[in-house]
Amino acid sequence: MSMSTDTDGELVAAPSKTQIKQAMHELQALGARLLELPDAQLDEIEMEDSLRTALRTMRTLRSREALRRQMQYVGKLLRVAEVESLRRAIADYRAGRNQAAQAFQEIEDWRERLLADDAELNAWSKACPTTDLPRLCVLIRNARREQTSMSDRGGDGGAVGKGRCYRELFRRLRAEVEASGSPPGLG
């Protein structure tokens, strides 16, 4: 570690070359994480136009060496950028993506429960009281018939229950959840 003087004339330990390289690699990794963001979200983040252009250019490159050089350039631009706001934007995006995946899984679980047992319809109607129950009952009945006919025909294991009515039931449940504002619990 080399020593340098600060504005008050006191000796201060300057970062080592290894520490500087680690910081640059962290900035390059941040640039790579920024590439995960869709263009619309990237446009919403406040950043220098040169950084935004460099990130867009990086998405178009295919050559490994060109990508490496562009990543170094992005890292260089990030040295002067406000990285905390960029990190927050990435964290917010990932949190939203995880939330959407969880809601999707919850709707799939409801579909399976509704297809497996008629008593679950009561639980659904309590959790989501605005549901058009007669329409939902028809979709459940049709999806069950579809499952039975597909398994009777000897379809492969992966295709059982994956017909049109099965997918339509999912779309109806998702629409009900979106209309109510939040997915009902699986309690």
Residue 76 belongs to domain spanning? 17-81
164-180 and 133-152 helices, crossing angle to 10°: 150
Do residues 77 and 104 both lie within one domain?
A: no
**Cβ contact 34:82 at 8 Å:** no
In this prediction the pTM is 0.60
Do residues 23 and 53 both lie within one domain?
A: yes
> Is residue 136 situated within a structural domain?
yes
> Is residue 87 situated within a structural domain?
no
Nearest-angstrom CA–CA distance, 47 and 81: 7
> Is residue 69 situated within a structural domain?
yes
Specify the pLDDT at position 185: 60
Cross-strand bridge partners of residue 4: 12
Q: List pLDDT tens digits, range 119-166.
A: 899 889 888 888 889 999 999 999 999 888 887 776 555 544 478 999
Specify the pLDDT at position 159: 47
Tokens linked to 140: 């459940």
> Is residue 90 situated within a structural domain?
no
CATH number at residue 162: 1.10.60.30
Of 48-52, 89-93, 166-170, 183-187, the one with minimum mean pLDDT is 183-187
Q: List pLDDT tens digits, range 79-124.
A: 999 999 999 999 988 888 888 888 899 999 999 999 999 889 988 9
Do residues 112 and 175 both lie within one domain?
A: yes
Do residues 49 and 108 both lie within one domain?
A: no
Do residues 63 and 117 both lie within one domain?
A: no
Do residues 110 and 145 both lie within one domain?
A: yes
Domain boundary among 81, 111, 128: 81
CATH number at residue 28: 1.10.60
Q: List pLDDT tens digits, range 8-36.
A: 777 778 889 999 899 999 999 999 999 98
